């Protein structure tokens, strides 16, 4: 599998703050990039997908992709306690066969 | 997003027995499905690619005779853990996605927590 690295956690942020998550990948040919949220004991839930360079915003989430730097990030604005979870970065070349990072655990302090 | 359903959500079995896990795509057809395994505090590791109407493709280090995969229809893939042992206890999750132009989003089933005693 292709290598995907995420910034080590855990990450603790106060409620209302911005949580910033980073991910780098090794395969320059990767085409599709995803962020999944996984609550403890549950399966991953897709929260963002991004395919081209730049920013993509969806509600309080913003994904940023820089293919030249092989870097993808996720910003969570106005963090809520319900955002406390493990966030998984996933990368694929051109199909659904995903390579996952180790995940970053985020805790939002009320 | 698309819906992927997995059953059972939790199973406890005795060492040496076999367990079958089902993965269904409910609102789309899936020629390919993926099976992952996740140990506590670790990320998801791909076990195999399930191909409708043909043999599954296994990742390096995954025993194909122990983890039997059948993908007999466009909406159903099954994973059978044969002769289960305590070290097979894990969280097994399947994924699939509708093939639409320019979109490779994959969705996960609810997962199956297997405990072998």
For residue A38, the surrounding DSSP H or E stretch is strand A32-38
Q: What is the pLDDT of residue A72?
A: 97
Q: What is the pLDDT of residue A1?
A: 53
Is a pLDDT exceeding 80 seen at residue B101? no
Would you call B77 an interface residue with chain A, using a CB distance cutoff of 8 Å? no
Q: What is the pLDDT of residue A7?
A: 84
Q: What is the pLDDT of residue B9?
A: 97
Put simply, the answer to whether A95 touches B32 (Cβ < 8 Å) is yes
Find, in chain A, the residue whose alpha carbon is nearest to that of B44. Answer: A100
Put simply, the answer to whether B108 touches A49 (Cβ < 8 Å) is no
Mutate to test the interface with A, among B1, B104, B115 (most CBs of A within 10 A): B104
Is a pLDDT exceeding 70 seen at residue A85? yes
Contact B86, B73 (CB under 8 A): no
| Residue indicated by tokens 């399930």 | B50
Q: What is the pLDDT of residue A10?
A: 93
Q: Which residue has the higher pLDDT, B97 or A60?
A: A60
DSSP B103: B
Give pLDDT tens digits for B56-84.
Answer: 999 999 999 999 999 989 999 999 999 99
Mutate to test the interface with B, among A56, A85, A96 (most CBs of B within 10 A): A96
Measured CA to CA, the distance from residue B80 to residue A99 in angstroms comes to 23
Would you call A82 an interface residue with chain B, using a CB distance cutoff of 8 Å? no
Give pLDDT tens digits for A36-67.
Answer: 999 999 999 999 999 999 999 999 999 999 99
Say whether the peptide bond before residue B103 is cis (omega within 30 degrees of 0): no
Put simply, the answer to whether B46 touches A1 (Cβ < 8 Å) is yes
Q: What is the pLDDT of residue A8?
A: 75
Would you call B50 an interface residue with chain A, using a CB distance cutoff of 8 Å? no
| Residue indicated by tokens 């002769």 | B83
Give pLDDT tens digits for B19-44.
Answer: 999 999 999 999 899 999 999 988 89
Give residue A93's pLDDT band: very low, low, confident or very high (50, 70, 90): confident
Collapse the DSSP code of B25 into the 3-class scheme (helix H, G, I; strand E, B; otherwise coil) and give the result: strand
Measured CA to CA, the distance from residue A38 to residue B38 in angstroms comes to 12
Would you call B107 an interface residue with chain A, using a CB distance cutoff of 8 Å? yes
Contact B102, A51 (CB under 8 A): yes
Q: What is the mean pLDDT of residues B42-54?
A: 91
Kindly state the tokens that stand for B74.
Answer: 């466009």
- Going from the C-alpha of B88 to that of each of B50, B81, B113, the distances in angstroms are 19, 8, 11
Kindly state the tokens that stand for B73.
Answer: 């229809």
Least Cα distance to B27 among B100, B110, B117, B97 occurs for B97
């Amino acid at each position: 599998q292709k290598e995907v690295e995420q910034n080590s956690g855990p990450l603790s942020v106060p409620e209302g703050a911005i949580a910033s998550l980073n991910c780098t990948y090794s395969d320059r040919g990767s085409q599709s990039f995803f962020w999944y949220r996984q609550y403890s004991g549950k399966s991953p839930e897709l929260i963002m997908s991004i395919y081209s360079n730049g920013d993509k915003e969806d509600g309080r989430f913003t994904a940023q992709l820089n293919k030249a730097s092989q870097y993808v990030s996720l910003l969570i604005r106005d963090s809520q306690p319900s955002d406390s979870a493990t966030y998984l970065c996933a990368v694929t070349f051109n199909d659904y066969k995903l390579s996952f990072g180790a995940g970053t655990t985020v805790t939002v302090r009320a | 997003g698309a819906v992927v359903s997995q059953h059972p959500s939790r199973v406890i079995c005795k060492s040496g027995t076999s367990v079958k896990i089902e993965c269904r795509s409910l609102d789309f057809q899936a020629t390919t499905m993926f099976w992952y395994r996740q140990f506590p505090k670790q990320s998801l590791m791909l076990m195999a690619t399930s191909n409708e109407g043909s043999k599954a493709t296994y990742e390096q280090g995954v025993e194909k005779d122990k983890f039997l995969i059948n993908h007999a229809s466009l909406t159903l893939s099954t994973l059978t853990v044969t002769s289960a042992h305590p070290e097979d206890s894990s969280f097994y999750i399947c994924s699939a996605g509708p093939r639409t132009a320019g979109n490779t989003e994959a969705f996960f089933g609810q997962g199956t927590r297997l405990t072998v005693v």
